[in-house]
């Protein structure tokens, strides 16, 4: 038997486990999927926007994999901490596949970023997704009339949409009740989503952009003068040469610029060619706005500052300028790329493949691509592992790793524990007159899972 630990139950971890048990070359592979959270599915549960039900429903196919009898889910097990160092994990298994994601946000690196009311999109996403590490009270929104979202990717679009959508559109989701109540009570009227470069360079996809323009009670606008700064905008030949997504995005924005204002209590303003310079604050230490420098195309695909500044009012600022991986103690890490060095998924230590250590997903290739991109990525890693199986399986293991985890003071939440959380969330939703509603805190999750108290 080949016993493998997959660390992380997001898409890459689940796809790696699936590939390992569903192949035929190496019989008898058994996989434990470990996660530091009591709940599986990684960012599909704690990142994908709650109002995107179709993508959320991917949890169903991940669940089918984790219910395979050759796979065991062990939640509430953090790897790399004092209780379970990476080296100890490798003693318990023939091989370990690290699929720990890359969900740390990047900073803007400008003055005022530490003012109250300035947050990463990651923190905001974690809050409305009910991640148990997010502080429940982090986003009191009373007094917030205007928000600025810095960034032009799909996560920036997600947080803009969640801020603008209003309670009626969010109540059918599994959003935790405190987050739903805070968004419902907010008097927010304007969300400005601001990009440093031009519309043809934005990274959001057309479906997500278009959706912003269809939200009930929301007027989605963009400034025709800012669109016109993009050299591609007025040049049909150059526009025709753009990738299809950028071309379609421009068409949507052209429509927004030409449309008559829509009636409604809220407004989304999509702004371009503005570089963040400083977050402005009041005497109480809270954000009051953001200062931007207008930029202009530099003719080489980048932008250059113009020295002209513009202040945009905001009582809430969310930065959404990219993700990066965090080092896991005991595992090599490249601080430049924010990933674990590897060759075809084999972890490299000092340039050489480390026996029994593998990596897949965002921590392998960086935070790019959609959920499906993790499937071929995980397959490549699993194939490398299976090629090495002959050597790896020669080592005798000390017994069932679950006993060793418990002996180390860990309290793994197994599949029945996760099922109990799911059913507690359904009960919570019923009691609130909603569908299933997430439990957003550690004590609540562990109590629902029936996990024994800490030793
Ligand atoms: C806000 C947001 C929205 C997104 N929306 C979409 C979308 O709508 N559609 C789409 O296709 N893609 C979307 N994505 C991208 C998608 O979520 C990623 O491609 C995918 O989740 C990456 O998978 P992963 O397995 O590498 O990492 P993750 O999904 O992050 O999973 C990593 C797992 O590892 C666990 N872990 C971390 N450290 C440890 C440790 N030390 N010990 C044990 N466990 C650990 C984590 O708890 C987590 O469960 C979104 C991403 C973000 C950030």
pLDDT along the chain (455 residues), means of 10: 97 98 96 98 97 96 98 98 97 98 90 96 96 85 93 97 92 95 92 97 96 94 95 89 95 92 90 98 97 95 96 97 92 96 98 98 95 98 98 96 97 98 98 96 96 60
Instruction: Look at residue 9 in the predicted model and tell me its pLDDT.
Output: 98
Instruction: Look at residue 105 in the predicted model and tell me its pLDDT.
Output: 86
Atom of ligand 1 nearest to the CA of 35: 44
Nearest C-alpha to atom 2 of ligand 1 is from which residue?
47
Rounded to the nearest whole angstrom, what is the distance from the C-alpha of residue 121 to the centroid of ligand 1?
Answer: 14
Instruction: Look at residue 25 in the predicted model and tell me its pLDDT.
Output: 95
Nearest C-alpha to atom 21 of ligand 1 is from which residue?
43
Instruction: Look at residue 137 in the predicted model and tell me its pLDDT.
Output: 74
Q: Which residue is associated with the tokens 């990651």?
A: 122
Tokens for 147, please give them: 């928000």
**CA-based nearest residue to 158, from 211, 197, 104:** 211
Q: Is 151 in the pocket of ligand 1 (CB under 6 A)?
A: no
Tokens for 316, please give them: 């809430």
Instruction: Look at residue 23 in the predicted model and tell me its pLDDT.
Output: 96
- The residues pairing with 190 across neighbouring beta strands, listed in sequence order, are 146, 267
Spatial separation of the C-alpha atoms in residues 316 and 188, rounded to whole Å: 10
Tokens for 227, please give them: 């669109």
Instruction: Look at residue 301 in the predicted model and tell me its pLDDT.
Output: 86
Beta-carbon contacts of 263 under 8 Å, excluding residues fewer than 6 positions away, are 219
Nearest C-alpha to atom 48 of ligand 1 is from which residue?
42
SS3 303: strand
Instruction: Look at residue 454 in the predicted model and tell me its pLDDT.
Output: 57
Per residue, the 3-state secondary structure of 239-264, as one string, reads HHCCCHHHHHHHHHHHHHHHCCCCCC
pTM (two decimals): 0.96
107: left (phi over 0), alpha (psi -120 to 50) or beta: beta
Q: Is 329 in the pocket of ligand 1 (CB under 6 A)?
A: no
Instruction: Look at residue 453 in the predicted model and tell me its pLDDT.
Output: 55
SS3 140: coil
**CA-based nearest residue to 362, from 2, 12, 6:** 12
Rounded to the nearest whole angstrom, what is the distance from the C-alpha of residue 367 to the centroid of ligand 1?
Answer: 9
Give the strand pairing for 190-194 and 218-222.
unpaired
Radius of gyration of the chain (CA): 24
Rounded to the nearest whole angstrom, what is the distance from the C-alpha of residue 273 to the centroid of ligand 1?
Answer: 30
Spatial separation of the C-alpha atoms in residues 364 and 373, rounded to whole Å: 12
Atom of ligand 1 nearest to the CA of 363: 26
Q: Is 410 in the pocket of ligand 1 (CB under 6 A)?
A: no
């Amino acid at each position: 038997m080949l016993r493998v630990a997959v660390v992380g139950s997001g898409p890459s971890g689940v796809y790696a486990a699936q590939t390992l048990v569903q192949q035929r070359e190496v019989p008898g592979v058994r996989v434990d999927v470990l996660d530091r959270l009591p709940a599986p599915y990684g960012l599909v549960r704690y990142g994908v926007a709650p109002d995107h039900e179709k993508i959320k429903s991917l949890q169903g196919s991940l669940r089918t994999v984790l219910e395979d009898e050759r796979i065991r889910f062990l939640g509430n097990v953090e790897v790399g901490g004092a209780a379970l160092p990476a080296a100890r994990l490798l003693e318990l298994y023939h091989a370990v596949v690290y699929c720990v994601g890359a969900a740390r946000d990047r900073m803007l690196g400008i003055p005022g970023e530490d003012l109250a009311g300035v947050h990463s999109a990651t923190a905001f996403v974690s809050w409305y997704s009910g991640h148990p590490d997010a502080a429940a009270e982090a986003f009191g929104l009373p007094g917030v009339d205007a928000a600025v979202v810095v960034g032009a990717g799909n996560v920036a679009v997600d947080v803009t949409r969640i801020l603008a959508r209003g309670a009626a559109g969010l109540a059918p989701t599994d959003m935790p009740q405190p987050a739903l109540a805070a968004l419902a009570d907010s008097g927010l009227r304007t969300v400005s989503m601001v990009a440093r470069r031009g519309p043809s360079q934005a990274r959001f996809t057309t479906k997500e952009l278009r959706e912003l323009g269809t939200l009930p009670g929301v007027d989605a606008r963009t400034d025709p003068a800012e669109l016109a700064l993009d050299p591609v905008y007025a040049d049909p030949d150059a526009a025709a040469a753009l990738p299809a997504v950028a071309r379609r995005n421009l068409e949507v924005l052209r429509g927004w610029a030409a449309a008559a204002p829509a009636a409604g209590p809220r407004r989304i303003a999509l702004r371009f060619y503005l570089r963040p310079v400083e977050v402005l604050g009041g005497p109480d230490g809270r954000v009051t706005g953001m200062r931007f420098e207008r930029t202009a195309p530099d003719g080489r695909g980048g932008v250059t500052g113009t020295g002209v500044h513009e202040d945009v009012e905001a009582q809430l600022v969310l930065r959404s300028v990219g993700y990066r991986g965090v080092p896991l103690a005991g595992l090599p890490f490249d601080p430049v790329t924010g990933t674990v060095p590897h060759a075809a998924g084999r972890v490299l230590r000092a340039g050489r493949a480390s026996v029994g250590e593998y990596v897949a997903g965002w921590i392998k290739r960086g935070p790019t691509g959609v959920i499906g991109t993790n499937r071929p990525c995980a397959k490549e890693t699993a194939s490398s592992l299976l090629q090495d199986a002959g050597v790896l399986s020669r080592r005798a293991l000390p017994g069932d790793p679950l006993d060793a985890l418990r002996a180390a003071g860990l309290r793994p939440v197994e599949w029945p524990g996760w099922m109990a959380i799911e059913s507690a969330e359904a009960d919570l939703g019923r009691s609130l007159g909603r569908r299933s509603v997430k439990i957003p805190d550690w004590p609540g999750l562990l109590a629902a899972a029936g996990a024994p108290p800490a030793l």
